[in-house]
């Protein structure tokens, strides 16, 4: 069974601060995604990282995939209240019937105060 450990579980910060969310596993994934979810809605895909060591930037968000494709991080620069939400990492299985099936981390609830 593939497990993803996401940390921290809760993050409460002031507008303008920087933050990093971590996602770790002992399993190798074919790709890793980050999603953002608002209350009462389904998760929305932010980014997919595929190659070990890959770094992707999406405005103030920077995503990194570990060299061994087992871990990832999300860094937000100068957080804004609109960034508030549940952030989820998800790893795609690497083989067999699990190929493409996503395993999610527990999520990080981010609150950015004005």
In the complex, which residues of this chain contact another protein (CB under 8 A)?
A: 4, 6, 30-31, 33, 35, 40-45, 48, 50, 86, 88, 90, 92, 97-107, 109
Residue 62 Rama label (left phi>0; alpha psi -120 to 50; beta): beta
Q: Does residue 82 sit in helix, strand or coil?
A: helix
- The nearer residue to another protein, 18 or 110, going by C-beta atoms, is 110
- The nearer residue to another protein, 16 or 56, going by C-beta atoms, is 56
Q: How far is the CB of 81 from another protein (least distance, A)?
A: 19
- The nearer residue to another protein, 92 or 112, going by C-beta atoms, is 92
Distance CA 27, CA 42 (A): 26
- The nearer residue to another protein, 48 or 84, going by C-beta atoms, is 48
Q: How far is the CB of 41 from another protein (least distance, A)?
A: 5
Q: How far is the CB of 29 from another protein (least distance, A)?
A: 10
Concatenated DSSP letters for 88-110? EEEEEB-SGGGBT-EEE---EEE
Q: How far is the CB of 44 from another protein (least distance, A)?
A: 7
Nearest CA among 45, 52, 47 for reference residue 30? 52
Q: Does residue 40 sit in helix, strand or coil?
A: coil
């Amino acid at each position: 069974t593939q497990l993803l450990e996401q940390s921290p579980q809760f993050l409460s910060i002031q507008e303008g601060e920087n933050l990093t969310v971590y996602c770790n596993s002992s399993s190798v994934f074919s790709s890793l995604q980050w999603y953002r979810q608002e209350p009462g809605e389904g998760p929305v895909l932010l980014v997919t990282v595929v190659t070990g060591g890959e770094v992707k930037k999406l405005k103030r968000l920077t995503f990194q995939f570990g060299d061994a494709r087992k871990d990832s991080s999300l860094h937000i620069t100068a957080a804004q209240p609109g960034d508030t939400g549940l952030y989820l990492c998800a790893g795609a299985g690497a083989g067999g019937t699990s190929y493409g099936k996503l395993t999610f981390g527990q999520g990080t609830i981010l609150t950015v105060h004005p």
